[in-house]
Amino acid sequence: MSSVKLVHVTPDAEKLIAYCARVSSPNQDNPDYAKLIKYLITHKHWSPLEMASLCLEIKTSRAISAQILRHRSFSFQEFSLRYSEATEFETYEARRQDIKNRQNSIDDMPSSIKQWFENEQHRLQDEANSAYDQALSFGIAKEQARMLLPLSTCTKLYMHGTIRSWVHYLEIRTGPETQKEHRDIALAAKAIFNEQFPTIAEALK
């Protein structure tokens, strides 16, 4: 199953952001920074938020990781099927296509169709995994054998970015226009973000 966990965060990140924001102030060491951070965010002075960073570990499918990797202001390290073998697959629920909004899907499919979709995923994953294992047994390189694997193949990646980048990512990807499976990851990331940066989180409300 998909998961998100903290890997690294800049120590005293909010204090550092305020310290850097006051670079031109004679009172740079002022320990009171809540009002300053609120001011920065209200007036969209984002550059001080580039002085600190956050790195998260994300486990998901190749289908969702492709969406995450589109956020080019981040740095990524992803599990490579060129060097390691695939071992797990994600299974997703069936949802109906929203005909008015192609970015949306609606969870109102009959249980029989949901069960069929789940069964088909398992069937195809089993077939693909069997072919993949056979390819490896023939001595086919991992970088070639991976072509037999579906988008539901599990992957792990590290996502590292400045606080400015995370604010933008969370603003976009926690909205209803994001695929539910990706939105669930973004919401889990937001929970970690809010815990690590409570002053910034409060200012963003």
pLDDT tens sequence across 5-42: 999 999 999 999 999 999 999 989 899 999 999 999 99
Q: Has residue 49 got a pLDDT over 90?
A: yes
Taking the CA of residue 31 as centre, how many other CA atoms within 13 Å lie in the half-sphere pointing to its CB?
A: 0
Q: How far apart are CA 90 and CA 121, in angstroms?
A: 9
* Domains assigned to the chain: 3-81+153-203 (3.30.1360.170), 96-148 (no CATH)
Nearest to 157 by CA among 69, 89, 58: 58
The pLDDT score that the predictor gives to residue 1 is 80
pTM of the model: 0.94
Q: How far does Cα 103 stand from its chain's mean position?
A: 18
8 A C-beta contact, residue 170 and residue 80: no
At 120, the pLDDT band (50, 70, 90 cuts) reads: very high
List, in sequence order, every beta strand (DSSP E) within the chain.
Answer: 3-9, 53-61, 75-78, 96-97, 105-106, 154-162
* Residues annotated as catalytic (active site), given as ranges: 173
The pLDDT-based confidence of 102 (bands split at 50, 70, 90) is confident
CA distance 70 to 66: 7
Adjacent-strand bridge partners of 162: 53
Range 137-157 average pLDDT: 98
User: Tens digit of pLDDT for each residue in 149-187?
Assistant: 999 999 999 999 999 999 999 999 999 999 999 999 999
Q: Which of the 8 DSSP states describes residue 84?
A: S
Distance CA 133, CA 130 (A): 5
In terms of Cβ atoms closer than 10 Å to its own Cβ (0-12, 13-18, 19+), residue 149 is middle
In this structure, what token pair is assigned to residue 138?
Answer: 């023939």
62-99 pLDDT, tens per residue? Answer: 999 999 999 999 999 999 999 999 999 999 999 999 99
Measured CA to CA in angstroms, residue 150 lies from 3, 79, 156, 193 at distances of 20, 15, 15, 31
Confidence of residue 103 (pLDDT cuts 50, 70, 90): confident
Give the three-state DSSP class for 60.
Answer: strand
